[in-house]
Amino acid sequence: MKPAYRSVFRELLRRELGERYRGSFLGVLWHLLLPLSQLLVLSWVFSHLLQARTQFENLSYAAFLALGLWPWNLFANAVSNSVAALTGSAALIGKIALPHHLLVDAKVSASVLLDLAGFAVVLVVLVLLGSPLKPSGLPVVLLSLVVLCIFALGFANIIAVLNVFLRDVGAAISQILSLLFFLTPVIYDSGQLPSEIQRWLNLNPFAAPIIAIRHAFLGLPVDWRHLCVSGMVALIIAYLGYALLRRARPHLEDYL
Amino acid sequence: MSEKNLPLVEVNHISKRYPVLANSGDRLSALFDMLRGRAPTRHTTVLSDINFKLMPGCSIGIIGENGAGKSTLLKLITRVLTPSEGEVITRGAIGALLELGAGFHPEYSGRENVRLSAALYGIGDAELKEKMLEIEQFADIGRYMDEPTKHYSSGMIVRLGFAIIAAVRPPLLITDEVLGVGDESFQKKCSRWIDDYVSSGGTLLLVSHSMYHVQKLCREAIWLHQGKVEMHGDVYNVTQSYLAWHESRQTQTSHVETRRASDYEFGIESVICNGLDASAELVFPARGDFGIEAVLTSKDGTPPTMMCGWVRVDGTPVYGISSEMEKITARELGDGRYSFRLVFPQLALLPGTYNLRVHSLDTAGLRLFQTWQCDVKISGESRAFGLMQMPHRWE
């Protein structure tokens, strides 16, 4: 018996999306309001309170931060949401035959879709407010986002499986993600760092797509070598994730 | 060989072991065992070396006591669980009604849950559009279809689950005694559907404690005992052996009675039947007056209640009464001892062996303390059926 994979996936995705604002008054409007209010807070704190500056001319610090923060959140939210992709569906997994990877896929897809929508809203507002974003950078931006998504999917599978065996993973992952956040040039530009440290920073595979997104939007040259390496690493992680899920599949029900 | 003659399910030497997860270290070592592709080191075995084939149109009933591994076996066949050893080969779709509302998310509406279930049965969008109306009509739960399933009664959950199965009409249906939940009219609808399904070539794999159902619906039966196949074969042979085993086990356990009357708050000091202190089997002619004299004890000085009952050897109750029901007070003998005398004039039991039981209860007749019993063989000849001689006349 083959399940209708597409229908199952769509149904799971619909549930994930619906879950977010179930029972809230504003519902879908939150998708619009949340990114806008976040952007408002950021620009007030950094541009008015702290008077932070960037080395890029014409670019406010809030805009600089937004260009890094949303792509990073796209990755980080997808990973941290997926912690419970399997453990949270114990009621389904233990009762009916279900392709397990669809649970993780749906979790990641829902998270990514919402953050992409948020990013789009933020970009539109930034352009309206006069930030000098170049539309010619969009292809590179999309490519970089795809790399981040592949990373997210790979780590999501690994973490969802590990969390079935050891619930400690859920607690640890939020700490690891916040450490990675500071090791990735999101709130700062890698150009501000001493060159010694910059070399080390390049080992961080998440740095390349984030830097590429910013540079592409500002019309600056993109470091293709690092972006390619990052993409390769992402594919390897994704492969490992699926391999781990395949190996763990027969045992998952026993530990849920 | 044509498709039709291939078994729907082949269960080849499967075993299932669950890991033991007593302390937190077990999970860590289980993770490493899994990564290295080994079986977990600490485990309990719930099923071992199960082996059978299920041919189309040849329904099998699975019987056994609680914890024998019946549900685990069904979950292995439906691929909810994966066997630790051996393999399960299945051909065609399998409809499963294993647990009440399994796979239904309580927060989502009936319709949304149907969509996911149907997709898991391999029904695509176009097909589901046609079947949704059919499912709604079969379930017959009206506007509840669009309410979250957490607001459903257990009957409605079964209706919806069964309606999906009825729409899918898989060549094999696996059920685990969930159909007894719906109301009378829905149960009739279900049994009609199942009769029709079986007679039109559908196959059942059925777990049930009702031997009647198993005998009615299945040709073969498998008796599982402590994770192993105890017996597999013709449905009548297997169910009868199973019932006989139950009877013998019940009589074994109930004879173990070593405590004395004084150990109980309300105890039984002695029971004398027709002037005999019955310890072994008592033989008594049919239709004679049967007298029971019992002395019960009470620790706190409140009078005890005596309950007396006749039970068939397989445990079927025949008749039972208590002194409290009939507002009888015991004769006080002093020292916390009380005597009862109970007579069954012209005992109406048909010839056969019965179990006579006397129980001591508290004054209100609520808490049961001690049980005394003996086998009584009613001698005589009668060609009537059943348990009791009923007064009757032909006119």
Please answer yes or no on whether A4 and B94 come within 8 Å at the CB atom: no
pLDDT digits (tens, 9 = 90+) for B63-103: 988 888 888 898 899 888 888 888 898 888 888 887 777 77
Q: Is the pLDDT of residue B140 over 80?
A: yes
Beta-carbon neighbour count of residue B231 at 10 Å? 18
pLDDT recorded at residue B138: 86
Average the pLDDT over B288-307 and give the result. 89
pLDDT digits (tens, 9 = 90+) for B31-42: 888 888 777 777
Q: Helix, strand, or coil here: B237?
A: helix
Average the pLDDT over B172-195 and give the result. 78
Interface of B with A in 166-185 (CB under 8 A): 170
Contacts of B354 (CB under 8 A, 6+ apart): B310, B311, B312, B313, B318, B375, B376, B377, B378
pLDDT recorded at residue B106: 83
Residue B384 falls inside a structural domain = no
Based on the structure, what is the number of domains in chain B?
A: 2
Query: Which of B34, B124, B128 lies at the smallest CB-CB distance from A248?
Result: B34
pLDDT recorded at residue B279: 59
Answer yes or no: are the C-beta atoms of B9 and B51 closer than 8 Å.
no
Handedness of CA B159, B161, B162, B166 (dihedral sign): positive
Co-location of B14 and B103 in the same domain? yes
Interface of B with A in 18-47 (CB under 8 A): 18-19, 21, 27-28, 30-31, 34-35, 37, 40
Q: Is the pLDDT of residue B224 over 80?
A: yes
Average the pLDDT over A229-249 and give the result. 93
Is B112 within 8 Å of chain A by CB?
Answer: yes
Co-location of B146 and B282 in the same domain? no
Co-location of B316 and B365 in the same domain? yes
Please answer yes or no on whether B122 and A251 come within 8 Å at the CB atom: no
Report residue B17 as tokens. 């072991």
What span, in angstroms and rounded, lies between the C-alpha atoms of B120 and B79? 12
Residue B391 falls inside a structural domain = no
Chain A CB contacts of B119 under 8 Å are 3-4, 7-8, 11
pLDDT digits (tens, 9 = 90+) for B255-274: 445 567 777 888 898 888 88
Please answer yes or no on whether B119 and A7 come within 8 Å at the CB atom: yes
Is B148 within 8 Å of chain A by CB?
Answer: no
Q: Place B306 in a pLDDT band, splitting at 50, 70 and 90.
A: very high
Model pTM score: 0.73
Q: Where are the domains of chain A?
A: 5-255
Q: Place B280 in a pLDDT band, splitting at 50, 70 and 90.
A: low
pLDDT recorded at residue B256: 47
Q: Is the pLDDT of residue B239 over 70?
A: yes
Residue B317 falls inside a structural domain = yes
pLDDT digits (tens, 9 = 90+) for B342-359: 999 999 998 888 889 899
For the CA atoms of B370, B374, B380, B383, the dihedral, rounded to the nearest 10 degrees, stands at 70
pLDDT recorded at residue A71: 93
pLDDT recorded at residue B343: 92
Chain B CB contacts of A92 under 8 Å are 103, 105
Chain B CB contacts of A94 under 8 Å are 80
Which CATH number fits the domain that encloses residue B222? 3.40.50.300
Query: What are the CA-CA distances from residue A69 to residues A62, A181, B305 (Å)?
Result: 10, 9, 79
Handedness of CA B3, B7, B13, B19 (dihedral sign): positive
Query: Which of B92, B120, B125 lies at the smallest CB-CB distance from A3?
Result: B120
Query: What are the CA-CA distances from residue B239 to residues B65, B225, B246 (Å)?
Result: 12, 13, 11
pLDDT digits (tens, 9 = 90+) for A40-50: 888 888 877 88
Per DSSP bridges, beta strands B368-379 and B282-285 are parallel
Residue B14 falls inside a structural domain = yes
Q: Is the pLDDT of residue A1 over 80?
A: no
pLDDT recorded at residue B1: 41
Q: Which of A9, A21, A95 to mutate to test the interface with B (most CBs of B within 10 A)?
A: A95
Per DSSP bridges, beta strands B43-54 and B172-176 are unpaired
Q: Is the pLDDT of residue A241 over 90?
A: yes
Which parts of chain B are beta strand (E)?
9-19, 43-54, 60-63, 85-90, 94-97, 172-176, 203-207, 220-225, 228-234, 266-273, 282-285, 290-298, 305-312, 317-322, 331-334, 337-344, 352-361, 368-379
Which CATH number fits the domain that encloses residue B295? 2.70.50.30
Per DSSP bridges, beta strands B172-176 and B203-207 are parallel
Residue B388 falls inside a structural domain = no
Please answer yes or no on whether A166 and B120 come within 8 Å at the CB atom: no
At A100, which amino acid appears?
H
pLDDT recorded at residue A16: 86
Q: What range defines the domain where residue B90 resides?
A: 3-28+38-250
Co-location of B61 and B199 in the same domain? yes
Interface of B with A in 337-376 (CB under 8 A): none
Q: Which of B224, B250, B276 is the last residue of a domain?
A: B250
Query: Which of B34, B99, B112 lies at the smallest CB-CB distance from A247?
Result: B34
Instruction: Give me the DSSP letters along B305-320.
Output: EEEEEEEETTS-EEEE
A35 CA to chain B: closest CA distance, Å? 28
pLDDT recorded at residue B182: 67
Q: Is the pLDDT of residue B19 over 70?
A: yes
What span, in angstroms and rounded, lies between the C-alpha atoms of B154 and B151? 10
Is A128 within 8 Å of chain B by CB?
Answer: no
Query: Which of A7, A12, A253 lies at the smallest CB-CB distance from B81?
Result: A253
A151 CA to chain B: closest CA distance, Å? 21
Interface of A with B in 71-110 (CB under 8 A): 91-98
Please answer yes or no on whether B118 and A7 come within 8 Å at the CB atom: yes
Residue B274 falls inside a structural domain = yes
Range with lowest mean pLDDT among A91-100, A179-188, B63-72, B130-139: A91-100
Q: Is the pLDDT of residue A176 over 50?
A: yes
Co-location of B7 and B147 in the same domain? yes
pLDDT digits (tens, 9 = 90+) for A131-173: 888 888 899 999 999 999 999 999 999 999 999 988 888 889 9
Q: Is the pLDDT of residue B4 over 80?
A: no
pLDDT digits (tens, 9 = 90+) for B382-395: 778 888 889 899 98
For a pLDDT cut of 90, what percent of chain A falls above it? 38
Co-location of B136 and B245 in the same domain? yes
Query: Which of B93, B120, B124 lies at the smallest CB-CB distance from A98?
Result: B120
At A11, which amino acid appears?
E
